[in-house]
Amino acid sequence: MFKKILIANRGEIAIRIIRACKELNIATVAVHSTADEHSLHVRFADEAVCIGPPQSDKSYLNIPAIISAAEITDADAIHPGYGFLAENAEFAEVCEKCRIRFLGPKPDHIRQMGHKSAARELAKKSGVPTIPGSESMVHTLEEAVSVAEGVGYPLMLKAAAGGGGRGMRVIRSAEDMGKMFEVVRSEAGAAFGDPSVYIEKYIENPKHVEVQIMADAHGTVLSLGERDCSIQRRHQKLVEETPCPVLPEAARRAMSECAVTLASAIGYESLGTVEFLFDQTTGAYYFIEMNTRIQVEHTVTEAITTLDLVKEQIRIAAGEKLRFKQEDIKFFGHSIECRVNAEDPFTFIPCPGEITGLNIPGGPGVRVDTALYVESTVQPYYESLVAKLIVHGIDRREAMAKMTRALSEFHIAGIKTTIPLLVEVMASPEFRSGKYHTGSMDKLLAER
């Protein structure tokens, strides 16, 4: 087992990792920008190292500074959390060369699954259903129009190296393609350093369902069930729950089997999430991508399985065999997570600032992951997620009631947050029915 782990992240996920390390009796090192000098993850860690100014590219994305921090503190492993360098194959390779264990999959697996077109081809070869689309990259507008005629409109033009909802456009006609093809290629090149794009059939109003997998270095791959992540704004998830409220049992089993098959095909090790679109009308499901890191929403899976996924991720990286077989994974009740962002709930303009008051909800089955405290500062340099509110109930009805109650208790003063919007989501008939889809959030906002 590791003696000391450096956490190459900040905020609530850094604290989450520190807590897991403490329970495993592993010392921790926090890295931080000058803006985060007084952050909670810095206080909670055993050691802390400043790695640069507030800008991410000069601190949390600064690979030489992070490696130097690990070396001067004698850390033998680095946990990247999510975001920042979590899916950066180059960073994982640098860690390997410096004999520091990267707490995640191998660099080749990050690279292979991070390139959406390559991942899609692997899925096809493994017998996992994929959305109809181009066989490979499309390089010219003429080629794109030709492929689109074969696939049929509407379709999705996507960056091959994309992620986080960037580099994607819905194309409903040849005219749209003419307007957007070079725009998406330019966006992809600027955001990911790769202008490659491909085409997929656009599934109207699907559910976004992802399967959590866990794999060790000894060939064991397990499915930990699915999560419904369909409440999204601009492809950014706002609410997640497990189990998916409308997924037929046969589809649930098949999607889990597909996720395990895909991970097994490349000898994957660590945590990972295999994502699908589920067509509620036809019952068909299609692979869309794999995330090679711990997810923001891992908490709901922890709630219904009682597993600590961060601890398991650390054990896997240390070379330990999984302590479970698939039949040992049991699911209990229902869990929902709401992401609380420091944004105006009506305009969605980011709202950094000092926290002047804070009341954290509690009670049985209520968990809050956050780095907030009174007099802490929400910085303008980083993403706006400031807290995750997670509830667990005997069934979905109880979980929704618990979430509604917990949101009413959650008070954050000094900044605006999306809590009022999350209250609206919980009360909306579409969410309560369980039949909501990736377009439901836009519909709710339009009806305000």
Q: Are residues 32 and 174 in the same domain?
A: no
Whole-model pTM: value is: 0.91
Q: Are residues 197 and 245 in the same domain?
A: no
| Residue with token string 């999560």 | 227
* Among the ranges given (128-142, 211-225, 283-297), the one the predictor scored with the smallest mean pLDDT: 128-142
pLDDT above 90 coverage of the chain, percent:
91
Q: Are residues 197 and 211 in the same domain?
A: no
Q: Are residues 296 and 366 in the same domain?
A: yes
Q: Are residues 244 and 288 in the same domain?
A: yes
Task: Give the number of other Cβ atoms within 10 Å of residue 216's Cβ.
Answer: 20
Contact 258, 221 (CB under 8 A): no
Domain span holding position 325 = 207-446
pLDDT in the model for residue 306: 97
- The arithmetic mean of pLDDT across residues 1-18, rounded, is 98
| Residue with token string 């991970």 | 263
Q: Are residues 189 and 231 in the same domain?
A: no
Instruction: Look at residues 143, 173, 201 and tell me which one is the last residue of a structural domain.
Output: 201
CATH of the domain at 56: 3.40.50.20
Structure tokens at 257: 């089997």
Question: Could you say which DSSP state residue 218 is in?
Answer: T
Q: Is residue 114 part of a domain?
A: no
pLDDT higher than threshold 70 for residue 416? yes
pLDDT in the model for residue 84: 97
Closest CA to 110 of 291, 309, 314: 291
Task: Give the number of other Cβ atoms within 10 Å of residue 447's Cβ.
Answer: 8
Instruction: Look at residues 148, 181, 201 and tell me which one is the last residue of a structural domain.
Output: 201
Collect all residues with Cβ–Cβ distance below 8 Å to 191 and sequence separation of at least 6.
159, 162, 166, 167
pLDDT higher than threshold 80 for residue 244? yes
pLDDT in the model for residue 164: 62
Q: Is 277 left (phi over 0), alpha (psi -120 to 50) or beta?
A: beta
- The arithmetic mean of pLDDT across residues 291-297, rounded, is 97
- The arithmetic mean of pLDDT across residues 56-62, rounded, is 97
Q: Are residues 215 and 194 in the same domain?
A: no
pLDDT higher than threshold 90 for residue 115? no
Closest CA to 292 of 268, 267, 322, 260: 268
CATH of the domain at 157: 3.30.1490.20
Question: Is residue 293 flagged as an active site residue?
Answer: yes
Say if strands 4-7 and 77-79 run parallel, antiparallel, or are unpaired.
parallel
Q: Are residues 227 and 173 in the same domain?
A: no
| Residue with token string 């600064």 | 62
Q: Are residues 235 and 302 in the same domain?
A: yes
DSSP bridge pairs for 384: none
pLDDT higher than threshold 70 for residue 432? yes
d(CA 393, CA 347): 32
* Among the ranges given (13-27, 95-109, 152-166, 394-408), the one the predictor scored with the smallest mean pLDDT: 152-166
pLDDT in the model for residue 135: 79
pLDDT grade for 116, boundaries at 50, 70 and 90:
confident
Helical pair 11-23 and 309-317, crossing angle rounded to 10 deg: 70
Q: Are residues 370 and 247 in the same domain?
A: yes
pLDDT tens, position by position, 319-373 = 999 999 999 999 999 999 999 999 999 999 999 999 999 999 999 999 999 999 9
Active-site entry in 169, 293, 339, 367: 293
pLDDT higher than threshold 80 for residue 316? yes
Q: Is residue 108 part of a domain?
A: no
Q: Is residue 99 part of a domain?
A: yes
pLDDT tens, position by position, 351-364 = 999 999 999 999 99
- The arithmetic mean of pLDDT across residues 224-243, rounded, is 96
pLDDT tens, position by position, 160-215 = 887 666 788 999 999 999 999 999 999 888 888 899 999 989 998 999 999 999 99
Say whether the peptide bond before residue 243 is cis (omega within 30 degrees of 0).
yes
Structure tokens at 410: 């959650």
Contact 255, 211 (CB under 8 A): yes
pLDDT higher than threshold 90 for residue 71? yes
pLDDT in the model for residue 166: 76
- Looking at the structure of the chain, the number of domains it has is 3
* Among the ranges given (9-13, 29-33, 138-142, 365-369), the one the predictor scored with the smallest mean pLDDT: 138-142
DSSP state string for 304-324: HH---HHHHHHHHHTTPPPS-
pLDDT higher than threshold 80 for residue 40? yes
Q: Are residues 277 and 248 in the same domain?
A: yes
Q: What is the mean pLDDT of the chain?
A: 96
